Structure 1
Amino acid sequence: MLEAVGVSAFEERVYRALLGSADCSAADLAATLREPARTVSTALARLDELGLVRRLEGRRYAPVSPEAAIGKLVNQRRAELDEVRGAADEFVDAFRLRDLRNNPDHPVEVVSGPDEVRRFSVGMQHNPEKSVLSFDKPPYATPPAGYDEVAAERPLLERGVEMRVIYERAALQLPGRLANVTELIRLGEKARTVPALPVKLYVYDHRLAIVPLSGAHVSEAIAVIHPSALLDALIALFEAYWERATAIVTVPPRAADGLDPQEARVLTMLAAGLSDQAIARQLGVSLRTARRRITTVMELVHASTRFQAGAAAAHRGWI
């Protein structure tokens, strides 16, 4: 069991025997275990080095508290694995550089098949260190059972990864999607919207991009673009769309100027460009009721258009 932290099976056996005995010598343990005294003595020296036992006067040994000693070994091994992870990044960079040198005209890797694409994509989603840029547009592959968009992105935001996402307007009209995006914005995501996007796109740390080749679902086949002029062009494309995209308004549920929580929600959807029909679906009401609430909200913020509603929210400091 302790082999994962550098303790051999025999050393663990000696340690367990010492845990079940009073302070004793190597000879005492050798007699208990029916093993050569020299072999037991070597194991005790190793356990002493690892901090699992301490040597007493008279060549006797006592166990150190397992909670503290094993916890220390686990932390040391975790630190070692973190160093390996850092070294792995250097190896990956060296491999990519080799690939680019040998194939300077082909900096694109194709990954195909649902299982391979899913494995690669999930790995990338958990590994960005600094930033993620994304074009988000329908249609989507069916998510795994129990998939939670907010829970998946929360760890990245909490560890300081900058996430900038441009949502195609149709994405925000899907049931429950705007609520998820609003929560992600609250957690730190920077989100904007445009009427239409040319392609789905994911850029990780400005070092690697993923573009689906099927034109629809990411799960079928993807192009992985490594550092190259093509990657630079995709990043420039994102920045160009970002500049002309509209920030998604997240109006506080208890906003000023007499807006109740549901009216604040309607203002959020108006500023995001949702149609009257989409707002009705999000609220779970009839189109007539939705339009009546839209009219009320626009009158409260003195706006005659959706653009003016967004501007009014910005003026009040809600964006």
Structure 2
Amino acid sequence: MARAPEVITRRLLEGIVPQNLLALYLQLLKTGNCPLHEAAQRLGGIQNVEALVTANMAHCGESGRDGTQWVVANSVDVVLQHGLVALAHEAVADHERLLIGQQRMSQALLTAESTTAPAIEQLVRIVTDADETDALTETLMRSAQRDWLTLDPHGSDDVAAKAVEDASPAWSSTDAKIKAICEAKNAETPARRARLESIVNCGGEVRLLPKVAMGMKIADEAAALIPLTPSTSSSTLLIQSSVIVGALREYFELLWDRAVPFATPVCDVEGISDEQLTILRLLVLGLTDEAVSEQVGMSVTTVRRRIASIRDGLGVKTRFQIGAAAVHRGLVD
């Protein structure tokens, strides 16, 4: 097996396979394939060799007429594939546990005694009217101050998509960040792909997973909406418990780290001038047109023309979207 340089191997596998196994795998690559007894000595014991074999990072095979068993490191691409499969299985298990908890929560709400129901309803409530669910979604989305997080199996977060497509003033005036996860197959549907692109072009972020088992929408740490059925939003849980919402946010971030960024065409901004980049950085800092004018020594009219040019180059419509798109494209920190 051709050995990959350690830095490349580490970059490919770090965070995908357990750190202790990565260290053992790098050591095996460094020392080279060797008889089983030597591998056990070099890797700190036969149990470490067995751990690598169990994780599909190495295999044992006979070599030579004497039947000596050798330990052979699997190629980096094979290790990476097995690592991703293991993470996918973990994600499915996470989904299943959350769905079980969701079902139990629904059952608890339906069977709660009348003396406790008012207290429970303050934290968790079942919404059965589709129009009310849509209204709640829009209200929570517009009230979000930091984050609007969506986990969407169908790629059809209509309210959020419509808001960014229309460059809604209520949405554009907030600093909330859009982060959406949906199933990869939805990026292959032209209409839904266009929706995902509209979110990205307005400064939001979209990532894809092979499978999304449930949907949810989270506004900051304040509230969350979870559909009770996978195919319709007519029955939804409104959760206003900070403890539960916090746990859902942690679950979302776990999936976010495992998801793949959605690729969208972007305009060519590599040729942006130093002058435009200076103005862009000042805009991201929140300076007004007049303040930018003083900083760069231009008239306000000229600054506004430069800002319009930057906005057109980034393919966005509003001042908020300029900053978000610039950060997304790596033009500013």
Structure with greater Cα Rg: 1
Q: After TM superposition, is the score higher than 0.5?
A: no
Shorter-chain TM-score range = 0.3 to 0.5
Instruction: Give the alignment's TM-score, normalised by structure 2.
Output: 0.40
